[in-house]
Amino acid sequence: MLLDNIWITGETNVDTISVARPAIGQEEISAVTSVLESGMLASGDRVVEFEKKFADFCGSNHAVAINNGTAALHAALLAAGIGPGDEVIVPAFTFVATASAVAMCGAKPVFADVDEKTFNISPQQVTEKITPKTKAVIGVHLFGQPCDIEALQEICESKNLKFIEDAAQAHGALYKNARTGSFGHLACFSFYATKNMITGEGGMVTTSDKAYNERLRLLINHGQSEKYLHTILGYNYRMTDIGAALGLVQLKKLEKLNLRRRKNAEFYNASLSVKGLSLPFVGSARNHVYHQYVIRLTEEFPMTRLAFIEYLKAKGIGSAIHYPIPLHRQPLFGLGNDPDPCPVSTSLAGSVLSLPVHPLLDQKELAYICDTINRVK
């Protein structure tokens, strides 16, 4: 499929409208080919350039390129000094890496419930979860919508806590006209293959703090202060020039790709009209970039979620559940659930569904999806 010089690589089922597709064009292919021909495949000049341009884009002083989003979270937490005995407050409704990265530091993730409208972490819940062991709060900008940054910043400042943004799904999103990645002590991004911008696998940590930047660079490169001199325990979390070459091209296209996502979401908002189907809510002073377009099926909806998924599948429309099990109910964390400490997260996990919103959808596909859904009785 060709769309404004952006096309898809790889095999696709022409009978199915995929819930997600990476937008890869000839410019990305040429950029990667250039790296392969250069012979410099590991971390080099393109990584340095990508870091500089991504930091400038976010409005941050520094950016450290990393090999994936989970590693970005882990490195950011370590840079912030999180370790055994510490607690970090995270939302109960998000991808597991937000919490597992805390556990990887030897610390305890403490789960806060989310706002029923925005699906983002509730500042009130955060306040209730703070203990003397709390050292940080991770605010996830879920599905592309910034969380209540100002409220979380105020809480963290008053309690001397680190505020870390998980912006893995919110590249280029705005909160009060400033971009995600510029608010937290540290902020973490993912460039996984279905994100708003991609490097295949990849991540980034942004910060405006020089000390955090210096510690991050040690942490992601085996703790080396100079070659073969290892001053702290570090990891091999480096990004390659291949990934950075992809990222540089994708960054140039990001605002255009995000605009297409927003236009697709606006089409859904104007066209979907089924009783019992709740559309995404956008909070004030926020610019949503719709990594996912997530609807919620209420009790008035005429089908169960499973039946609706099968109905869409039969009509050639992909969908996905993000996320079917809230983190506080994951066996990994072994927590009791009586009474349920995060009932909103549990309710959302049982009722949300993601529809295709990627920038390669055309008007005919969008109209077909809406017409198919509006026929549900």
Per-residue pLDDT of the chain in tens (377 residues, 90 and over written 9):
333 333 333 333 446 899 999 999 999 999 999 999 998 889 999 999 999 999 999 999 999 999 999 999 999 999 999 999 999 999 999 999 999 999 999 999 999 999 999 999 999 999 999 999 999 999 999 999 999 999 999 999 999 999 999 999 999 999 999 999 999 999 999 999 999 999 999 999 999 999 999 999 999 999 999 999 999 999 999 999 999 999 999 999 999 999 999 999 999 999 999 999 999 999 999 999 999 999 999 999 999 999 999 999 999 999 999 999 999 999 999 776 678 999 999 999 999 999 999 999 999 999 999 999 999 98
CB count in 10 Å sphere of residue 192: 18
CB count in 10 Å sphere of residue 103: 15
- Does 123 share its domain with 44? yes
Tell me which residue of 29, 22, 90, 47 sits closest to 326, measured CA to CA.
90
- Does 268 share its domain with 369? yes
- Report d(CA 102, CA 91) in Å as an integer: 12
Tell me which residue of 327, 193, 206, 290 sits closest to 247, measured CA to CA.
193
- Report d(CA 98, CA 102) in Å as an integer: 7
Q: Does the residue 9 lie in any domain?
A: no
CA distance readout (Å), 93 to 44, 115, 344, 352: 37, 10, 9, 11
Of the residues 248, 280, 305, the one at which a domain ends: 248
Most distant CA pair in the chain, distance: 67
CA distance readout (Å), 111 to 19, 102, 116, 162, 173: 29, 11, 15, 16, 24
Residue 24, φ and ψ in degrees, nearest 5: -120, 125
| DSSP at 291 | S
- Does 240 share its domain with 362? no
- 365: helix, coil or strand? helix
Q: Does the residue 239 lie in any domain?
A: yes
Two tokens, residue 47: 């990584």
Of the residues 217, 248, 279, the one at which a domain ends: 248
- Does 243 share its domain with 264? no
Q: Does the residue 1 lie in any domain?
A: no
| Domain boundaries, position 163 | 26-248
What CATH number is attached to the domain comprising 170?
A: 3.40.640.10
- Does 335 share its domain with 207? no
Q: Does the residue 7 lie in any domain?
A: no
- Does 237 share its domain with 279? no
CA distance readout (Å), 106 to 55, 88, 100: 29, 11, 10
Q: Does the residue 18 lie in any domain?
A: no
Cβ–Cβ < 8 Å for 308, 160: no
Q: Does the residue 264 lie in any domain?
A: yes
CA quadruple 299, 302, 308, 310: dihedral sign: positive
CA quadruple 96, 98, 99, 103: dihedral sign: positive
| DSSP at 188 | E
Cβ–Cβ < 8 Å for 111, 328: yes
Tell me which residue of 67, 45, 13, 30 sits closest to 192, measured CA to CA.
67
Q: What pLDDT is attached to residue 15?
A: 61
Tell me which residue of 247, 236, 241 sits closest to 200, measured CA to CA.
247
- The b-or-e profile of 251-288 (16+ CB within 10 A means b, else e) is bebbeebbebbbebbebbeeeeebeebbebebeeebbb
Cβ–Cβ < 8 Å for 77, 102: yes
- Does 275 share its domain with 242? no
Cβ–Cβ < 8 Å for 262, 357: no
Sheet strands (E) in the chain:
2-3, 6-7, 62-66, 87-91, 108-112, 134-140, 162-166, 174-175, 178-179, 186-190, 203-207, 224-226, 229-230, 277-278, 286-287, 293-297, 352-355
- Does 126 share its domain with 189? yes
Residue 11, φ and ψ in degrees, nearest 5: -75, 135
Two tokens, residue 237: 């979390």
Of the residues 228, 248, 268, the one at which a domain ends: 248
- Report d(CA 243, CA 40) in Å as an integer: 12
Q: What pLDDT is attached to residue 74?
A: 98
- Does 224 share its domain with 272? no
